[in-house]
Amino acid sequence: MCANCVPWRDEILANHRLEEAPVHWNNCIPHLWPYEKWEVAKVYMPGGQRIKCSFDKFDITALLNLMANCNHFRAFVETQKLLQVNEVRNIATHAPDMTVSEEDLKKYLVKIKDLGRALEPHAPRLRRLSTETDRLRKMLDSPEQESGVRCFAASFDVMSEWDAERFSLTERTEFLLQCYQEEQLDGLKEAVQGTVKYLEHSEKLKAILGRELSKLHWIQKQRERLEQDTKYQ
């Protein structure tokens, strides 16, 4: 690391929640720190962010980790609120059959609404989140509601049901890929199998999300190879 980058590195570390989270230096290109804000931000995110360089390229867990791991954001929101919502996202994304129970979803909505309310003074557009979580909660209380609820954002008016489904599946694929890369393997095999099965059941989804399906097949092959290597050791 060059002399110009050292002060940036030291400042990044001084503002990092080091005792609780790893530092992902491989996410960034150090000599760009003085010029590109996202190169600094990516150090606080999970691994696998290196080629991303703009806000719209990061998923929700990357942004939640940024706010949770960087001390700068403690002035705006409690770290625990961020971690709780990130946990909700991970649980929902990791669900093998892509569903959560109605009871769990109600608990998750409370945590999501709580975070949104905390951030409203700094991001007024989040006021809509409270309205939407309340609306979804009322839908869950309806006697016609099924016992299992799909892990899609489709119930929100923010996007169409089809767009929400594509978004959710893309997010889920990236999350599963990240889990594999970071060797978080518990439940990964079942989650990947469930997602592949869901995608292959729809010709439309297979056509639109072919790249995601290829990534999932790649994870499956890598897992199979790992299992074979372990078997013959």
Same domain, 99 and 141: yes
Same domain, 232 and 164: yes
CB 166 within 8 A of CB 208: yes
The tokens for 194 are 């469930």
Alpha carbon of residue 11 to chain centroid:
26
Q: What is the per-residue pLDDT for 141? A: 72
Q: Distance (Å, rounded) from C-alpha 211 to C-alpha 229?
A: 27
- Residue 16 phi/psi, 5-degree rounding, is -100, 140
Number of domains in the chain: 3
User: Model's pTM, two decimal places?
Assistant: 0.69
Q: Considering 121, 151, 181, which residue would you say is the last residue of a domain?
A: 151
Q: What is the per-residue pLDDT for 149? A: 53
Q: Is residue 66 part of a domain?
A: yes
Q: Distance (Å, rounded) from C-alpha 81 to C-alpha 92?
A: 17
Q: What is the per-residue pLDDT for 97? A: 66
Q: Is residue 1 part of a domain?
A: no
Q: What is the per-residue pLDDT for 64? A: 92
Q: Is residue 215 part of a domain?
A: yes
Closest CA to 96 of 42, 148, 165, 159: 148
DSSP 8-class letter at 29: -
Q: Distance (Å, rounded) from C-alpha 177 to C-alpha 181?
A: 6
Residues whose CB falls within 8 Å of the CB of residue 132, separated by 6 or more in sequence, listed in order: 156, 157, 158
- Domain span including residue 19: 6-75
Q: Is residue 137 part of a domain?
A: yes
Helix axes 79-94, 60-69, angle to 10 degrees: 150
Q: Considering 43, 75, 107, which residue would you say is the last residue of a domain?
A: 75
Alpha carbon of residue 117 to chain centroid:
20
Whole-number Cα distances in Å, 35 to 4, 40, 70, 129: 12, 9, 19, 33
Mean pLDDT by 10 residues, the chain (233 residues): 86 86 88 93 89 86 92 91 89 73 85 91 86 80 57 46 70 82 79 85 84 89 80 63
